[in-house]
Amino acid sequence: MIVKLIIRNTMKTLLQLTALLLLQLTLSAQQVAKSLTATNGTFIGFYEYKPTNYNASGPKYPVIIFMHGIGERGNGTTELSRVAANGIPKYIAQGNPMRFTWNGKTETFLVLSPQLSSAWGYWPNFYPEEMIKYAKANLNIDTNRIIVTGLSLGGGGVWQYASASSENGRTAAAIAPVCGTCNMQVAANIAKANLPLWAFHAQNDGTVSVGVQLTRCLSSVSRNSHSTTKTIYADGGHSIWDRAYDTVYNWQNPNVYEWFLGQNKSLAPNILPVANAGSNITISTSKATVNLSGVLSTDADGTIVRYIWTKVSGPATGTIVTPVSTTGSTVINNLTLTGTYIYQLKVVDDRASVATSTITVTVTNGVVANIPPVAEAGIDISTTSASANLNGQLPTIQMALSQHINGQN
């Protein structure tokens, strides 16, 4: 009986492993090896990713053009698998469906990942250009949402492609260079197109210097800052791509895919939201709890869809009850140690742009003096109707009441 039990368990384990392998193969099989001959006669091998439920005649898909690093170059055929070593193609090979939800809508990215020939030491512009041409001719894509991104050498290719011509600057909906070399050609082509960009780098990158490369590239794109975002990690060296391309919220919120979905060439350039964490607050340790609100935050051309509270500094106590919400309200409790606590509010608008604001919470042992509430009757109203709605629940009085409730008495 013992022998039979061992055999049964072994077979069960083998069946489970086989099923898992088949599932992974089914998922990764959607990243199919393709090839084409470019207009200049160059052979290009690439991976094409489509979801299992791809619909050629349904709603149009956003598309990502991904360019790899120097170590993944190859002949486009027998060496094509190198492309899946890092970044987005790796996640797809591991089974990630590239399906994300933004602002209430869930969508799947199509992804094209060309392999750069080993004969090249940089990414010529015809590689991403041929991928975009192929996508337009063969896939059901939304041409207003073409994203160009890449890491290391590929990040340099992103800068180069977007700055090469005014047409390229207007073709992409957004670009995201990750630890890339500053292969800038004409920065004005990015600026004039109001092309949204999110650049990633690490402060201690010993391969591609953040000061020499990223700073130079960003400073050369002289324009309004509404479309420019940068994330510089304190550490991580050159290999930060798993941070930049994080599919959840381990490193940034919103993640880069949500930001991709927020970009659309058919819309006017986005105006950044304005974050307001409220007035500084003083409470007593006997209260040990404070209510924070981001209701004073605004977005001139849309709506704020996400509020994120984080602790910046202060004593080792204090718990944020609701760090992420759609209302902006949260409670900080367990403020049992005296000192100065600083909290940051990040607001995210419907185009996935962000703004931040901080608030200082001072915790003392003594009695805190009362601060009177502030009444606000609202703006003047002119109406031809026989009735009018009045509202005294404006953000200013809400904040004043919040301060009053929080122990300022």
**How would you write the chain as a 3-class SS string?**
CHHHHHHHHHHHHHHHHHHHHHHHHHHHCCEEEEEEECCCCCEEEEEEECCCCCCCCCCCEEEEEEECCHHHCCCCCCCHHHHHHCHHHHHHHCCCCCEEEECCEEEECEEEEECCCCCCCCCCCHHHHHHHHHHHHHCCEEEEEEEEEEECHHHHHHHHHHHHCHHHHHHCCEEEEECCCCCCCCCHHHHHCCCCEEEEEECCCCCCCHHHHHHHHHHHCCCCHHHEEEEEECCCCCCCHHHHCCCCCCCCCCCHHHHHHCCCCCCCCCCCCECCCCCCEEEECCCCCEEEECCCCECCCCCEEEEEEEEEECCCCCEECCCEECCCEEEEECCCCCEEEEEEEEEEECCCCEEEEEEEEEEECCCCCCCCCCCCCCCCCCCCCCCCCCCCCCHHHHHHHHHHHCCCC
Joined together, the tokens standing for residue 242 give 């798993």
Range list for CATH 2.60.40.10 in the chain: 281-379+391-405
pLDDT score recorded for residue 223:
53
Q: Please give the CATH architecture assigned to the domain spanning 28-261.
A: 3-Layer(aba) Sandwich (3.40)
Rounded CA-CA distance 82/80 in Å is 5
Sign of CA dihedral 192, 198, 199, 204: positive
Distance, CA of 49 to CA of 30 (rounded, Å): 6
Please compute the mean of the pLDDT values over residues 27-35 and round it to a whole number. Answer: 78
CB atoms within 10 A of CB 393: 10
Could you give the C-alpha distances from 213 to 5, 81, 121, 177, 199, in angstroms and in order? 62, 29, 17, 11, 11
> Which range among 51-60, 252-261, 398-407 shows the weakest confidence by mean pLDDT?
398-407
Tokens at residue 351, please?
A: 């185009």
Q: How far apart are CA 72 and CA 219, in angstroms?
A: 30
Structure tokens at 360: 């200082």
Residue range(s) of every CATH 3.40.50.1820 domain in the chain:
28-261
The pTM for the full model equals: 0.84
The residue-averaged pLDDT of 214-236 equals 80
Whether residue 404 has pLDDT greater than 90: no
**Residue 395 above 90 pLDDT?**
no
The model's pLDDT over 298-330, given as tens digits with 9 standing for 90+, comes to 999 999 999 999 999 999 999 999 999 999 999
- 58-62, 121-125, 141-145, 393-397, range with the lowest pLDDT: 393-397
Closest CA to 376 of 397, 400, 399, 357: 397
Cβ atoms 304, 285 nearer than 8 A: no
What mean pLDDT do residues 20-27 have?
Answer: 41
pLDDT at residue number 3:
42
Q: Taken in order 30, 248, 253, 322, is the CA torsion positive or negative?
A: positive
Report the topology of domain 281-379+391-405: Immunoglobulin-like (2.60.40)
- Is the pLDDT assigned to residue 382 strictly greater than 90? no
